[in-house]
């Protein structure tokens, strides 16, 4: 038995570690599953091809034979990745792996993962510290992974509901437990920072399920400081009422999950929905989430960068209320690593980028498409400007790699013509979805209660009317 320790400047630090013997067979620390299955829900483990990464606090015991082993430790903000060969000698009792410092985010910036599943708060806290994520939202969900009809329901996670409070915390990370409320056709919503659980937890999977609507869930969550997000789940689900909820202003942000790391031209990407909403004058925010629900993802695969003014990480802990307030107002940026921010100045828009990897491309984007491109210098913080007089409807920016895969996306800033672009929408995906929803609701009559049925129909029609109204007469 050998004691391993990961250190930075002589101090133990959390991290994800993979160890393989000379034959390439994984060697797993004591207390972790030595034989995890792909897609399993083993906590604090990540399967990448033939490697098993384990999240640790930085020190662990491992049964390991005297020979040469290959060791890898994943990077996180402020710490560089480590890879090397370590020879274990007969009778050796301890191994130290010294980390090297890497670029860290500026003070006041927090990495936030707003949707994870199937974890206990303690397991999530361990993964969060190992991944460098400051705040994690675990969402109790009645139907996960995707299944129709409904599968096993995990009521136990609801007992860990923490709402606006931390369910677990250290000086580095905080964990919160809220809910993912779901309907198989009308849509799903992440209800975060809610003062209490919003019931019913699910609706529409079976005829006897309690009838409920997306708008009811949103209004209940918003009663006291709650935040509502449209999660990126199965792109084949229609989610008619959730789309109406964004247009009608009941949903605060759109989540990017699988869209991050995928090509911007992916037909299943959330980007066309986002750009269409902004062009129509719907000022929704943007967030990133990992959607972790098994051992094929780790916390922080995709996440949200949030800036809290006047905050210093060393002394203030994790300012949960301020972070969630910033999420609610749409000030977050979605990312798989690099920091990207966008601010409006009196004479120009300023994009701030940091923690940049090689082969990263910066793009300005507005209602017309990509309007500016720059290849970034890796490793150093940079500011890129755009003249304010050139902003008409809206302006945003994003980072992509050489293959066009989305790395990060900022929120947008409004121009003087926000929501008043008169040109015909070449890709009316919002209108098409709402029109289909109206037809579906009238043909299927999902509610036995006539008042609920009328409420749904009127809600869909209200969103459709808002999108199709004359731009110059729209109240923004």
Sites in the chain below the pLDDT cut of 70: 143-154, 205-210, 311-316, 421-426, 470-476
pLDDT in tens, 290-333: 999 899 999 999 999 999 987 655 546 799 999 999 999 999 99
* This prediction's pTM: 0.93
Q: Report pLDDT for 142.
A: 72
Q: Report pLDDT for 375.
A: 95
Q: Report pLDDT for 147.
A: 44
**What φ, ψ does residue 276 adopt, rounded to 5°?**
-65, -40
Q: Report pLDDT for 424.
A: 60
Q: Report pLDDT for 126.
A: 96
Q: Report pLDDT for 324.
A: 97
């Amino acid at each position: 038995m050998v004691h391993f320790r990961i250190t930075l400047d002589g101090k133990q630090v959390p991290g994800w570690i993979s160890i393989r013997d000379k034959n390439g067979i994984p060697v797993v620390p004591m207390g972790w599953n030595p034989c995890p299955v792909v897609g399993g829900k083993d906590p604090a483990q990540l399967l990448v091809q033939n490697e098993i990464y384990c999240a640790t606090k930085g020190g662990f015991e491992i049964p390991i034979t005297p020979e040469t082993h290959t060791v890898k430790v994943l990077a996180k903000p402020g710490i560089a990745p480590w890879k090397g060969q370590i020879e274990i000698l007969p009778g050796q009792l301890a191994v130290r792996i010294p980390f090297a410092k890497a670029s860290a985010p500026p003070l006041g910036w927090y990495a936030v993962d707003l949707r994870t599943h199937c974890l206990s708060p303690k397991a999530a806290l361990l993964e969060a510290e190992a991944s460098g994520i400051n705040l994690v939202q675990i969402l109790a969900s009645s139907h996960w992974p995707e299944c129709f009809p409904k599968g096993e329901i995990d009521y136990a996670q609801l007992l860990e509901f923490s709402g606006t409070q931390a369910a677990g915390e250290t000086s580095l990370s905080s964990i919160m437990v809220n809910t993912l409320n779901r309907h198989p056709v009308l849509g799903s919503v992440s209800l975060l920072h809610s003062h209490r659980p919003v019931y019913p937890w699910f609706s529409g999977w079976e005829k006897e399920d309690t009838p409920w609507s997306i708008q009811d869930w949103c209004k209940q969550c918003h009663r006291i400081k709650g935040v509502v997000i449209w999660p990126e789940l199965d792109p084949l689900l229609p989610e008619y009422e959730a789309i109406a909820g964004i247009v009608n202003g009941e949903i605060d942000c759109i989540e990017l999950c699988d869209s991050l790391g995928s090509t911007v031209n992916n037909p299943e990407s959330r980007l066309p929905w986002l750009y269409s909403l902004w062009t129509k004058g719907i000022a929704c925010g943007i967030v990133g989430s990992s959607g972790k629900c098994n051992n094929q993802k780790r916390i922080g695969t995709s996440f949200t960068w949030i800036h809290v003014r006047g905050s210093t990480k060393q002394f203030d802990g994790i300012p949960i209320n301020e972070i969630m307030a910033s999420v609610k107002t749409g000030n977050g940026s979605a990312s798989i690593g690099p920091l990207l921010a966008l601010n409006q100045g009196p004479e120009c828009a300023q994009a701030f980028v940091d923690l940049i990897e090689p082969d990263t491309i910066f793009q300005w984007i507005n209602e017309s498409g990509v309007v500016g491109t720059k290849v970034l210098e890796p490793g150093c913080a940079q500011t890129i400007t755009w003249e304010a007089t050139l902003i008409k409807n809206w302006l945003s920016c994003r980072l992509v790699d050489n293959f066009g895969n989305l790395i990060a996306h900022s929120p947008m800033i409004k121009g003087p013509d926000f929501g008043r672009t008169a040109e015909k929408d070449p890709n009316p995906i919002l209108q098409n979805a709402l029109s289909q929803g109206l037809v579906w609701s009238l043909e299927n009559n999902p509610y036995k209660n006539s008042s609920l049925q009328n409420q749904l129909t009127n809600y869909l029609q209200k969103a459709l009317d808002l999108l199709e109204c004359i731009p110059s007469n729209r109240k923004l």
